[in-house]
Amino acid sequence: MRCLNIDLNLHMILVLFLSIPIIIKASSAEDGYKQCEHTVRHWASSSLNSEVKEDKHLLRDLLFFLHVPRTGGRTYFHCFLRKLYSSSQECPRSYDKLRVDSRKPNCRLLSTHDDYSIIYKLPKEKTSAVIILRNPVERVFSTFEFSVEVAARFLIHPNLTSVGRMARLPRPKKAGVSTLDIWPWKYLIPWMIEDLFARRDAREHRGQTYTMTNNSYDMEDILMPLHEFINEPIVRDIVHNGATFQIAGLTNNSHLAESHEVRHCVLKYPTFGKYVLEVAKKRLNDMLYVGLTENHKESASMFANVVGAQVISQLSTSRSKREIANNNDSEQSSSLPDSRMDANYQRNNTYTKVKKVSSIGKDEETNKNMTVGKLMEAYESCTSDLRNSQEERRANSLKNISPANFTKEARRHIPKVLLQKITSLNSLDMELYNYGQSIFAKQHERVMQTIVDTKRQETILIESAYINSYGSPSWKVLSLGTAGFSLLLFLFLSRRKTSKIKL
């Protein structure tokens, strides 16, 4: 009996002894969790509290285009925003890191891949944000393909040393910003270049005796298979849930020091993702405009009606005010030589010869007589130019990794489990995208209502003018044109099959 007791006691002591470090370990992990929870919640509540109360549907002084990579934002930038705003109204170094430039405190347009935290450098209460969201799985595909496409352009070089030498050459000042300078491409592309060269070197060593699969998304002798790509640390860091992190201001490119701690906590403890989502949803809800890549045509005509119409009236008001006040043009002349960043990544460089997109260059006069109808017309021809030059570029660079080719057919062969994996790696973005779709639907309703109201009002106006015999027939046609045209255009575009622009 006694013996057993001693034995038991000893046993208990041993258990006690052994479990102390475990308890300490567990409690420090718990501390980390608690600490993180505190950090994330504190960030979330202060982010949610610093909202602007004014009517979100009204365009404020500065338009902030939060351009999520691979959502088709380039067409909005080139084919809408640059038709509306003159170069002197664009904030310096859009797309590159914003350097708040005292010479241009009153710029009206900022378009960037930087995250939402940049707003803390802007006059927040005077800023309206716009955004385009894309199905997260499609966005991951597009990111993968674009990384490979751009990296493949460098395969014309004999080796990496030679690539490095070229990349270090000073770029012509006027050529603007290169893809390689812009987050997240400045990380993804060099990484992909190295990978492509390594695979090419390995092939050469083996003397081309490799077996070729026929699936371009899983052709490891030529390029990184998609299933590897999505699991790479760099991709987990900057691609997955990228839209949510960008809107939350928590990308690893954030301007706020505090963001990085929050970000690390959320990556470590995915359960805190819910706080991030809450902030992102709130901000999305407060934006002037939300577009969807998948509903391209509808999104574009809504952009013209919601954003375009307000920019036109805002700029014409401020222009006439200025013209009446004095003929003082000194603000215009402050335009910086490098303020027009060529963020369409088309630079006259040593690697590629690019056909210039004719409609991109423009002058100060562009927005003077703009109407929503003219804007849509300009947009249509601009996008088709842009698409053509893009497709040509893509085809040329994919030749360098032939027989791999990213075709629709090849996509159909991607295993379902891989798609599910991408979905689960992007669960925050999936939820945000669903939310974005509901905002989009509401916005659509509101715009339709506004167009119908405007049309009704104009008809009344025309009728009364007609009765008073002030209206000549030509004036009547002209007036009807404004509202009627945008309505027709809208209906026409909405009904047209939502053809996706491949970006």
Ligand X SMILES: *[C@@H]1O[C@H](CO)[C@@H](O)[C@H](O)[C@H]1NC(C)=O
Terminal CA-CA length for the chain: 81
Residue 328 binding ligand X, by CB under 6 A: yes
Nearest Cα residue to 284 out of 133, 63, 449 = 133
Q: Are 280 and 25 in contact (CB under 8 A)?
A: no
Which lies closer to ligand X via its Cβ, residue 53 or residue 173? Answer: 173
Tell me how far, at minimum, the Cβ of 462 lies from ligand X, in Å. Answer: 19
Tell me how far, at minimum, the Cβ of 197 lies from ligand X, in Å. Answer: 11
Q: Choose which of 365, 468, 469, 499 interacts with ligand X (CB under 6 A).
A: 365
Q: Choose which of 45, 46, 106, 159 interacts with ligand X (CB under 6 A).
A: 159
Position of tokens 């255009």?
A: 489
Which lies closer to ligand X via its Cβ, residue 55 or residue 365? Answer: 365
Alpha carbon distance 153, 399 (integer Å): 9
Which lies closer to ligand X via its Cβ, residue 252 or residue 450? Answer: 252
Residue 215 binding ligand X, by CB under 6 A: yes
DSSP for 238-284? HTTTHHHHHHHT-STT-S-HHHHHHHHHHHH-GGGHHHHHHHHHHHH
Q: Choose which of 187, 245, 345, 440 interacts with ligand X (CB under 6 A).
A: 187
Candidate ranges 24-32, 402-410, 432-440, 485-493; the one touching ligand X (CB under 6 A): 402-410
Tell me how far, at minimum, the Cβ of 495 lies from ligand X, in Å. Answer: 28
Residue 168 binding ligand X, by CB under 6 A: no
Candidate ranges 68-76, 125-133, 145-153, 326-334; the one touching ligand X (CB under 6 A): 326-334
Alpha carbon distance 18, 10 (integer Å): 12
Q: Choose which of 2, 205, 321, 353 interacts with ligand X (CB under 6 A).
A: 353
Q: Choose which of 189, 224, 226, 238 interacts with ligand X (CB under 6 A).
A: 238
Which lies closer to ligand X via its Cβ, residue 256 or residue 480? Answer: 256
Q: Where are the beta strands (DSSP E) in 77-206?
A: 109-112, 127-133
Residue 270 binding ligand X, by CB under 6 A: no
Which lies closer to ligand X via its Cβ, residue 157 or residue 281? Answer: 157
* DSSP character at residue 232: S
Alpha carbon distance 138, 72 (integer Å): 12
φ/ψ bin of 70: left (φ > 0), alpha (ψ from -120 to 50), beta (otherwise) = left
Residue 405 binding ligand X, by CB under 6 A: yes
Which lies closer to ligand X via its Cβ, residue 125 or residue 338? Answer: 338
- Secondary structure of 33-95 in HEC code, one letter for each residue: HHHHHHHHHHHHHHHHHCCCCCCCCCCCCEEEEECCCCCCHHHHHHHHHHHHCCHHHECCCCC
**Which phi and psi (to 5°) does residue 291 adopt?**
-110, 165
Which lies closer to ligand X via its Cβ, residue 192 or residue 284? Answer: 192
Across the chain, how many H-helices and E-strands are there? 18, 4
- Which residues, 6+ apart, have CB-to-CB distance to 273 below 8 Å? 241, 244, 266, 427, 428
Residue 148 binding ligand X, by CB under 6 A: no
Residue 56 tokens read as 């979100």
Query: Within 379-398, which residues bind ligand X (CB under 6 A)?
Result: 395, 398
Residues paired with residue 62 on neighbouring β-strands, in sequence order: 127
Query: Within 65-124, which residues bind ligand X (CB under 6 A)?
Result: none
Tell me how far, at minimum, the Cβ of 500 lies from ligand X, in Å. Answer: 15
Residue 369 binding ligand X, by CB under 6 A: yes
Which lies closer to ligand X via its Cβ, residue 127 or residue 316? Answer: 316
* DSSP character at residue 125: G
Alpha carbon distance 419, 273 (integer Å): 21
Which lies closer to ligand X via its Cβ, residue 46 or residue 162? Answer: 162
Residue 209 binding ligand X, by CB under 6 A: no
Q: Within a 13 Å sphere around the CA of 19, how many CA atoms are in the beta-carbon half?
A: 6
Residue 348 binding ligand X, by CB under 6 A: yes
DSSP for 443-454? HHHHHHHHHHHH
Q: Choose which of 87, 127, 252, 498 interacts with ligand X (CB under 6 A).
A: 252
Candidate ranges 125-133, 406-414, 474-482, 493-501; the one touching ligand X (CB under 6 A): 406-414
Number of residues counted as binding ligand X (CB under 6 A): 28
φ/ψ bin of 287: left (φ > 0), alpha (ψ from -120 to 50), beta (otherwise) = beta
Query: Within 407-436, which residues bind ligand X (CB under 6 A)?
Result: 407, 410, 413
Candidate ranges 110-118, 291-299, 324-332, 482-490; the one touching ligand X (CB under 6 A): 324-332
Which lies closer to ligand X via its Cβ, residue 124 or residue 374? Answer: 374
CB atoms closer than 10 angstroms to residue 268 = 12
H/E stretch holding 289 reads strand 289-292
Q: Choose which of 35, 46, 50, 214 interacts with ligand X (CB under 6 A).
A: 214
Which lies closer to ligand X via its Cβ, residue 340 or residue 444? Answer: 340
Residue 320 binding ligand X, by CB under 6 A: no
Tell me how far, at minimum, the Cβ of 235 lies from ligand X, in Å. Answer: 8
Alpha carbon distance 41, 35 (integer Å): 10
Binding region for ligand X (CB under 6 A): 158-159, 161-162, 172, 187, 214-215, 234, 237-238, 252, 326, 328, 330, 348, 353, 365, 368-369, 395, 398-399, 402, 405, 407, 410, 413
